[in-house]
Amino acid sequence: MSWRTIVVSNTAKLDYQLGFMVIRGEETVKIHINEIEMLIVESTAVSFTAYLMNELTKNKVKVIFCDEKRNPSSELLPYYGAHDTSAKIRHQMEWTKENKAAIWTEIVTEKIRKQAEHLQDQSKTEAVLLYQYIEEMAFGDETNREGHAAKVYFNALFGKDFSRTEECPLNAALNYGYSIILSLFTREVVSNGYITQVGLFHDNMFNQFNLACDLMEPYRPIIDRFVMEMKPMQFEKEEKHQMITVLNREVYIDGRKELLGKAVKIYTRSVFDALNDQDISLIKFYTL
């Protein structure tokens, strides 16, 4: 079982040797590929062999490439994530509008619930309003309770002058954290044999990850909590490395405590079961 997150920050050459990823930099380090859950390549001065890329893909290792500012910019995704990918995609195309709306209603309700719990833990009275939005939730969130909740939530956490479009360390940290969570979900979508472009609610023709964006919504508050703990005055290399440790957080799901990556795996599969069986009770959400 893979569990390690590897970050390559300096000039290095990465290649494959007898089941190991070999990092040749100032020192030579060997890591068995079966141990690697995620590889983050922070430096643009890192080179890969095609052999290693193929082995990482076969073993479903999430590989994230960063730009010159060390921000995630792209990732490595296989064409085929499961032996029955063709059948899975046919099922995905047959999900009905009503079925997708029902699942989306559950997902967005849970997101607001996690936001309300976060506000409650921060002793913010606005939590009451978010719980009210949950009571007012319409099928498919036709009244956009999610949007109203987001405005109340972020203003309560960071002040009424805060905007998610502002360029500041808080937003840089949030965006970086969200990108890490999104990568976990894109991996799981592909590993289960589905395509990321076709979502439940998100339907942007320019977004390659519509389905992963849908699924990740209840996990965003985990990043929000982490950023609140960090209170970043800047967001540079050290803060980015600190943010990556969010993957070591544990949550309760399906009756046991799991690392975040495993929780994402369990939850994602449960959503696909719910979609294919048209049974929202199959969805397994996490608790803290």
Q: What is the CATH number of the domain that holds 71?
A: 3.100.10.20
> What's the number of domains the chain is made of?
2
**At a CB cut-off of 8 Å and minimum separation 6, what does 49 contact?**
13, 14, 15, 16
- pLDDT, average across residues 30-41: 94
* CB contact burial 19-57 (16+ within 10 A = b; e otherwise): ebbbbebeeeeeeebeebbbbbbbbeebebeeebeebbb
Q: Is residue 250 part of a domain?
A: yes
User: Using an 8 Å Cβ cutoff, are 183 and 38 in contact?
Assistant: yes
Q: Is residue 288 part of a domain?
A: no
Instruction: For tokens 């590897």, name the residue.
Output: 6
Examine the pLDDT at 2 and tell me if it is beyond 80: no
Domain that holds residue 49: 4-76
Assess whether 9 and 148 both reside in one domain: no
Examine the pLDDT at 185 and tell me if it is beyond 80: yes
How high is the pLDDT of residue 79?
84
Q: Is residue 287 part of a domain?
A: no
Domain's final residue, options 76, 97, 116: 76
Which CATH number fits the domain that encloses residue 157?
Answer: 1.20.120.920
Q: What is the pTM of this model?
A: 0.90
How high is the pLDDT of residue 178?
97
- Provide φ and ψ at 256, rounded to 5°: -150, 165
Examine the pLDDT at 8 and tell me if it is beyond 70: yes
Percent of all residues in the chain with a pLDDT value above 90, rounded to a whole number: 90
